[in-house]
Amino acid sequence: MDELKLYTYIAVFGSFALYFAIAWWARAGSTSDFYVAGGDITPLQNGMAIGADWMSAASFISMAGLIAFLGYGGSVFLMGWTGGYVLLAMLLAPYMRKHGKFTVPEFISDRYYSKTARIVAVICLIIASLTYIIGQMKGVGVAFSRFLEVDYGLGLGIGMAVVWVYAVLGGMKGITYTQIAQYCVLIFAYTIPAVFISLQLTGNPIPQLGLGSTLADGSGVYLLDKLDMVVTDLGFKEYTTDNMGGTLNMFAYTMSLMIGTAGLPHVIMRFFTVPSVQAARSSAGYALVFIALLYTVAPAVGAMARLNLMNTIEPAAGQNLEYEARPQWFKDWETTGLLKFEDKNGDGKITYVADAEKNEMVKVDRDIMVLANPAIANLPNWVIALVAAGGLAAALSTAAGLLLAISSSISHDLMKGVLTPNLSDKNELLAGRIVMTIAILISGYLGLHPPGFAAGTVALAFGLAASSIFPALMMGIFAKKMSGTAAVWGMCSGIGVTMLYVFQHKGIMFIPGTSFLGDMGPDWFFGISPNAFGAVGALVNFAVAFIVVRFTGPAPTHIQDMVDNFRSPYGKIEAAHDH
Amino acid sequence: MEGETTYWQENLRLIFISLVIWFVVSFGLGILLVEQLNEFRLGGYKLGFWFAQQGSIYTFVALVFWYSAKMNALDKKYKVEES
């Protein structure tokens, strides 16, 4: 076994052993432990757990790669996935914590006194969470197969088993404490390579400052200017100004991601785990600090990886790398099929340009940038091993949070709330564990046989959260008179419009060729892409709800009193937290 | 209920101020005005680019803590802290 593999085994299985130990120490004894960790997690701990929960395989593995190739356009992810926490902290979290229930659908059902509203919310939640989990499971499989060279399916199986042990045993309590450990693993794994690379390129150890510094090669040229120059020379768009699909699209995309983030149930439910309204407010702040640590490093990782890649292939203008002399990481990724070279002009050298006719790097998968980055920069083997453990921590922690959201919505909202209201606490806990086991099996199966639409599902998850859940919650708190009927109408029209737009572009359930309204051309609605359409769906939701409430009358007074109650931290909490 | 209404109104005012700042740093400086701001520099960063990829995020963090501190003070002022 070579050195790299040995280090990787130590990092991966060492971190797994740590998660198991924590899970055993923090087993769940009651439904309150299982759903909301007994309601006594401190804001700092909760912030870290939210950070790990939030930063998925997509944040860890894909985001910097996307930024590397989108340049300035990649900013939508940076602003969108952090700005949502500002909305959460001010518009949703404190009031929902005060109301004090276990799940998001439960809040919606209380506020809108409607089982229909609860069921609509449960369905949105399950679709959004399941589509999200598929991505995590794929991430686990890829990390195992690339770094430990085990079979993709076996890697997936190991990942499922690990999540099962600590999520099913520990519930929210076990998950929260494990996520704190996972946060530490993933943030080290992300920043250490970034610090090394920033030092190599600019001499500045802080990546956020390195990105704005001059290169260490003595030329005195700023790193970003150099990158702009290198990419435009080869015909690519300028790195620092390339705006993805125009200003309006960037605006709508950022807005959709922000309100989608604030509306994702697995994030919101984390605010039910803290002991007070004040703690809910500061949790959001701590969470954002821990998230910002990674999100402000990501643009540096992206830009530096792009520059390193360009410099490896063409060290000086016109002196392209001989294909035979390509480095080891190039060969490794070629075997995975994520990197492909085709010698079009037959000169034995690698040409990488924007012009598709001449370009010989026919495939450079964006997802490999973070994982290949340490190898491209010739970093020591233990750093590469750490990245593998970090990627797994990111995928596992997010999967666990999503599984909990799914199991609580089924066992608590559907079974206890609608189907079998007199379920005992003990049986509900058992039901929660069984549902979670089934959810792990389903998501594992979907990870093994990813449905064709897996790639398009991000639009679906954020579209649903942005167009239905966020507006419903916000109106529930800020529009006291908003009635149940109006909210259901709003949610359904918001989802309807968004899904119509997404499916029109990508086919019904992402089956190509089933676009039903004929050819409209891509992004026909003012150039807004399907991924960015959640913001429009949310506007429709608000508009429809306010029109309907005008005609059907306001919510009853006892509901308006309830709203008054959760708007203020003072007074009775209706929760079952205190037992 | 007199006191409750004012507590809520003061809260709404704080939220409004925060959201204006939230909008200006991200959508304003990072997207709508990015070309004009890119004429200026912050080290090697073009200023608009910096707001989009760094500055907006730092501002978000500061905003959440500012709002949280202001609200804690407001809770005390109106004596609506949790029992």
Contact: B75, A278; criterion CB under 8 Å: yes
Distance between CA A559 and CA A543 in Å, rounded?
Answer: 22
Q: Which two structure tokens, joined as six digits, stand for A499? A: 């899904």
State mean pLDDT over A245-272.
Answer: 88
What pLDDT score does A525 carry? 65
Lowest mean pLDDT among A216-225, A359-368, A567-576: A567-576
Q: Helices A247-263 and A470-478: crossing angle, nearest 10°?
A: 70
pLDDT above 60 (res A510)? no
What pLDDT score does A572 carry? 64
Contact: B56, A289; criterion CB under 8 Å: no
Candidate from B1, B52, B71 with C-beta closest to A281: B71
Domain that holds residue B67: 2-77
> Quick check: helix, strand or coil at residue A349?
strand
Distance between CA A204 and CA A216 in Å, rounded?
Answer: 9
Taking the Cβ of residue B46 and every Cβ of chain A, the question of whether any pair is shorter than 8 Å is answered with yes
Portion 503-532 of A in contact with B at CB < 8 A = none
The residue of A208, A570, A578 whose CB has the most chain B CBs within 10 angstroms, and thus the best one to mutate to test that interface, is A570
Residue A363 dihedral angles phi and psi, to the nearest 5°: -140, 125
The answer to whether residue B71 sits within a structural domain is yes
State mean pLDDT over A570-578.
Answer: 54
What pLDDT score does A338 carry? 77
Distance between CA A36 and CA A28 in Å, rounded?
Answer: 10
What pLDDT score does A526 carry? 66
Nearest chain B residue (CA) to A246: B31
What pLDDT score does B59 carry? 97
Taking the Cβ of residue A567 and every Cβ of chain B, the question of whether any pair is shorter than 8 Å is answered with yes
* CA-wise closest residue to A108 among A545, A552, A570, A579: A545
CB atoms within 10 A of CB A151: 12
CB atoms within 10 A of CB A474: 21
pLDDT in tens, A114-128: 888 888 888 888 877
The most confident of A29-33, A67-71, A327-331, A415-419, by mean pLDDT: A67-71
Q: A-chain residues within 8 Å CB-CB of B63?
A: 86
Q: A-chain residues within 8 Å CB-CB of B35?
A: 241
Lowest mean pLDDT among A20-29, A447-456, A480-489: A447-456
pLDDT band at B51 (very low <50, low <70, confident <90, very high): very high
State mean pLDDT over A569-574.
Answer: 68
pLDDT above 70 (res A222)? yes
Contact: A89, B68; criterion CB under 8 Å: yes
pLDDT in tens, A406-463: 888 888 877 777 777 777 777 888 888 888 899 888 888 887 776 554 445 666 778 7
What pLDDT score does A576 carry? 40
B74 to chain A, closest Cα gap in Å: 11
What pLDDT score does A451 carry? 59
pLDDT above 90 (res B18)? yes
Nearest chain B residue (CA) to A92: B15
Residue A9: burial class (beta carbons within 10 Å; 0-12, 13-18, 19+): middle
pLDDT in tens, B28-42: 999 999 889 999 988
pLDDT in tens, A75-104: 999 999 999 999 999 999 999 988 888 788
pLDDT above 60 (res A513)? no
* CA-wise closest residue to A223 among A298, A302, A295, A307: A307
The answer to whether residue B45 sits within a structural domain is yes
* Higher-scoring residue by pLDDT: B82, A259: A259
Contact: A296, B68; criterion CB under 8 Å: no
pLDDT above 80 (res A386)? yes
What pLDDT score does A32 carry? 76
Distance between CA A80 and CA A291 in Å, rounded?
Answer: 12
Distance between CA A141 and CA A268 in Å, rounded?
Answer: 28
* CA-wise closest residue to A88 among B72, B75, B68, B17: B68
* CA-wise closest residue to A205 among A218, A192, A221, A219: A192
The answer to whether residue B29 sits within a structural domain is yes
Mean pLDDT of chain B: 89
Contact: B64, A255; criterion CB under 8 Å: no
What pLDDT score does A546 carry? 94
The residue of A44, A54, A75 whose CB has the most chain B CBs within 10 angstroms, and thus the best one to mutate to test that interface, is A75
Portion 223-262 of A in contact with B at CB < 8 A = 223-225, 240-241, 243, 247, 250-251, 254-255
Q: B-chain residues within 8 Å CB-CB of A571?
A: 80, 83
Contact: B67, A281; criterion CB under 8 Å: yes
The answer to whether residue B23 sits within a structural domain is yes
β-partners of residue A339 are: A364
pLDDT band at B68 (very low <50, low <70, confident <90, very high): very high
Give chain B's domain count.
Answer: 1
pLDDT in tens, A143-172: 777 777 777 788 888 888 888 887 887 778
DSSP A213: S
pLDDT in tens, A292-303: 999 999 999 999
What pLDDT score does A579 carry? 32
What pLDDT score does B2 carry? 52
pLDDT in tens, A332-363: 888 777 788 888 888 888 888 888 888 888 88
Domains, chain A, ranges and CATH?
Answer: 3-309+379-567 (1.20.1730.10), 311-369 (no CATH)
User: DSSP of A103-156, one letter per residue?
Assistant: -HHHHHHHHTT-HHHHHHHHHHHHHHHHHHHHHHHHHHHHHHHHHT---HHHHH
Taking the Cβ of residue B66 and every Cβ of chain A, the question of whether any pair is shorter than 8 Å is answered with no
Candidate from B27, B35, B63 with C-beta closest to A86: B63
- A437: phi > 0 → left, psi -120 to 50 → alpha, else beta; which? alpha
pLDDT above 90 (res B66)? yes
Portion 29-68 of A in contact with B at CB < 8 A = 67
Taking the Cβ of residue B63 and every Cβ of chain A, the question of whether any pair is shorter than 8 Å is answered with yes
Return the exposure string of A539-574: e unless at least 16 CB atoms fall within 10 Å of the residue's CB, then b.
Answer: ebbbebbeebbeeeeebeeebeebbebbbbbbeebe
The residue of A54, A63, A79 whose CB has the most chain B CBs within 10 angstroms, and thus the best one to mutate to test that interface, is A79
* CA-wise closest residue to A448 among A229, A49, A158, A99: A158
State mean pLDDT over A186-209.
Answer: 93
pLDDT above 50 (res A62)? yes
What pLDDT score does A573 carry? 57
**Tokens 């429809």 belong to which residue?**
A544
Contact: B82, A276; criterion CB under 8 Å: yes
Exposure of A501 in the CB half-sphere (CA atoms within 13 A): 27
CA dihedral sign of residues B26, B31, B32, B38:
positive
What pLDDT score does B26 carry? 95
pLDDT above 70 (res A506)? no
Q: Compute the radius of gyration of chain A from its Cα atoms.
A: 24
What pLDDT score does A575 carry? 45
The answer to whether residue B58 sits within a structural domain is yes
State mean pLDDT over A102-115.
Answer: 88
Contact: A292, B60; criterion CB under 8 Å: yes
Mean pLDDT of chain A: 84
The answer to whether residue B32 sits within a structural domain is yes
pLDDT band at A511 (very low <50, low <70, confident <90, very high): low
**Tokens 């999520």 belong to which residue?**
A167
The most confident of A47-56, A320-329, A479-488, B55-64, by mean pLDDT: B55-64
Taking the Cβ of residue A564 and every Cβ of chain B, the question of whether any pair is shorter than 8 Å is answered with yes
Taking the Cβ of residue B83 and every Cβ of chain A, the question of whether any pair is shorter than 8 Å is answered with yes
pLDDT above 70 (res A512)? no
Taking the Cβ of residue A91 and every Cβ of chain B, the question of whether any pair is shorter than 8 Å is answered with yes
CB atoms within 10 A of CB A357: 6
Largest Cα–Cα separation, chain B:
55
Taking the Cβ of residue B20 and every Cβ of chain A, the question of whether any pair is shorter than 8 Å is answered with no
The most confident of A32-46, A396-410, A476-490, by mean pLDDT: A476-490
What pLDDT score does A578 carry? 36
The residue of A204, A244, A281 whose CB has the most chain B CBs within 10 angstroms, and thus the best one to mutate to test that interface, is A281
Query: What is the percent of chain A with per-residue pLDDT over 90, rounded to a whole number?
Result: 23
